[in-house]
Structure 1
Amino acid sequence: MLDINKIRADFPILTQKVNGKPLVYFDNGATSQKPQVVIDAISKYYQEINANIHRGVHTLSQLATDAYETSRGKIQSHINAKFAHEVLFTSGTTHGINLVTNGFAAILKPGDEILVSALEHHSNIVPWQMLCEKTGAVLRVIPMNQEGELIMSEYDALLSNKTKIVTVNHISNALGTVNPIKYMIDKAHKVGAAILIDGAQAVPHLKPDVQELDCDFYVFSGHKICGPTGTGILYGKEAWLNKLPPYQGGGEMIKEVSFEKTTYAELPHKFEAGTPNIAGGIALGTAVDYMNEVGFNNIQQQEKELLDYGTKRLLEIEGLKIFGTAKEKTSVISFNIEGIHPYDIGTIIDKLGIAVRTGHHCAQPIMTFFNIPGTIRASFAFYNTKEEIDLMVAAVKKAQLMLS
């Protein structure tokens, strides 16, 4: 069991007030808050090490390189990658997806098919559309049902020898649905297709085991797992990373350069051109350490209690409807109140210190499916409490009275 008071003391921002009210932060799906140890790791890098990595023989450069590569090793262990060089540092999930789509531009031909799910964030739709425009490949969509679950029989029917890659999120950012990715990975491989898993919304809640999953690519952002913004990870199987061409050209990603020919560096440096976000990469390792110290079993238990309690309390409000009622779901509640625009609710409860997300959550196809302009999304983290949920419910009721 978590000592919630002790946990909350690790996060300086949770003690502040917003509009004169105690902050209730329920926008964790957008970004998580940062514990003091992560903030300290960033500060320590700039105060004590600040040097470029991999290039200098001087002491500070070697210290920076060691810290950065130690962080890579921590993340390798965390996701159970077979090799450290299968773990690439990126600026976030979007960067990782674009890196893969850029590589597949050299592989796909007209008529090849890409399968994407109806539950995707725009970051896992738009790059694939751009790839189709570039290559002549065709984008196929795995449909969803009214509960916000992907329809597996439709997925099975869409798979064929034309399918070259499947791309699907592990957990929906808009609805909280946990997708059956192990089933989807195995099915994709049976037709010879690769599969990319967008884990941006999953890594705050669980530890993905990429070898057990047997996915070809797994991407996530550091800022959703208590790490800094501008950091992320692309895991790729060694064979695939060797097959794909580099995403960017520049320093660090080369072995030899002449005006006649350039040969590329070995993995992972082939995909890490230029000076990276060194402080961020180091602090991401610190964030992973922190999450593991808290313990993902503890995190899941706490968040399940918050999800169940929040669902029960919100459904007490007359006219409130929850979107996303999948059997397998994480701590996200997307809801609307009949006759009231979600933006109006969000604006009023912000005045009461409640931070939620309103809108389409970069998942417009989901909103189109439900024929709504957007939702109010409350996304809980392990440092949230039932008392905060009570404050949100009271604020929503007040907003409803004001707007009715």
Structure 2
Amino acid sequence: MDNRKRPAGSSNSGSLVFWSSSFQWQPARVLIVEALPPWWSQTCTVLCDALDNFLSLACSLDGPCRIPLLSLYAVSRQQECLLPFVQLRGNFARLHSCVEELRSIPGEGCIRGAARGGDLLRQAVLDSLQQFRHTNAGSQTRNNLSVEVTVVTSQPGRGTVHQLERGLRDADLMSLKRLLVVQIDISSCDKVATCSLMTSYSLMLGTEVDLQQVANSVVAVEMVLKAWLQERGGDREHLHLLLPKCQSEPTYALCVKCDMQERQISPALIPVASSLGVKTESVQDFLPATKMSANQSPPPQRLKAIKVLRADGVCESVLYGLPLVIRPTTCWQLDWDEMETNHGLFHALCHTLRSRDLFLLLQVESPQKSTAGGSGVYPHYVLQPSPSLSLLLRPVVSRELLLPISLPVSAQDPPPNAMQTVQVGRTFVLSNQITDAARGI
């Protein structure tokens, strides 16, 4: 890939962040919110809070532009464009004002049938496409060749899809890459995003239409919006996994072609990211940055336990940075009795966590508002027990930086011919020779 490097920001002066230029082909985004009573009164706060949180993060991200343009429409008693296409970076004040305008739409009253709402949704989609064509025609880069439209509704999603399907059947949809209808299930308030219904339709050749059902919670709606931050390329595979014939032969028998997906937003792209544990190469990287005189030492970092986690419930994909080994202090300034008591407490903590197969989730105590800049992201860590008298401290990504991921769990065995190719025969891909060689790594 064509990589380039730039400073990560004023908070990380002297360090460099690498990123790919593949984000230049990200589509423009249109969000159409169906704010019809009486459902709007139950979803307004959830959706607007999720939008505020998401825009706060997206506007403060350094690195490549993940959302080149964003437009917002509201469909209530009439269809209204609350936000023409704008760039996100540097526009949070305007975007926040737009969210507050959306929040002010009344949730009480009556409407004259669902058909009227369907007509307004159709018109909002067509207006957004016309606005995009006009905006893209005046663009100097001409990189934004497509647009994705997301319709958020609390009405039955299948009915909304069918209304849009009928209304857009004869429309010019060449610039529409994807149409996503998100149904907020007002009967569900789970904090986990639910994708119990994901159905694909087709309006015309080249246009993908999906229906997604999510819980009526801020976290669930945030995950729908965060999907916009993921790289949407697909013109070529990302990774070739080469498997050799055997250890003694340099040639390769198999090439497994793969795609890669981000699981989290790098904390290095957040302003004042040094407080988020991006660098854990040394103890000094972990200690808080404070102004001290030459003869002073930095104060200890204070982490408070906020939750107990089951060890088998922590996925490695949410951890980042280098781990630090934690052991009981041997500081000479402590008297012998205090040191012995502290050693016993540390031993008891290690034993309790290890015997019960538990981790501790930690957060920096009383984070200052300035610590996270404008993103509202604070540092968290996972404390893991080890067989020795020690603990392992690893940075863990916070909820704000997690990206959505949906990986299918296969209950079926692989095709017999594929198993034959990988395991046996002349390819000898996963032979004992390779296994033995791996033990020495």
What's the TM-score bracket when you normalise by the shorter of the two chains? under 0.3
Which structure's relative contact order is higher, taking Cα pairs within 8 Å and 6+ residues apart? 1
Task: Tell me which structure has the larger Cα radius of gyration.
Answer: 2
Q: Which protein is richer in helix relative to its size?
A: 1
Q: Which protein is richer in strand relative to its size?
A: 2
Q: TM-score, normalising length from structure 2?
A: 0.22
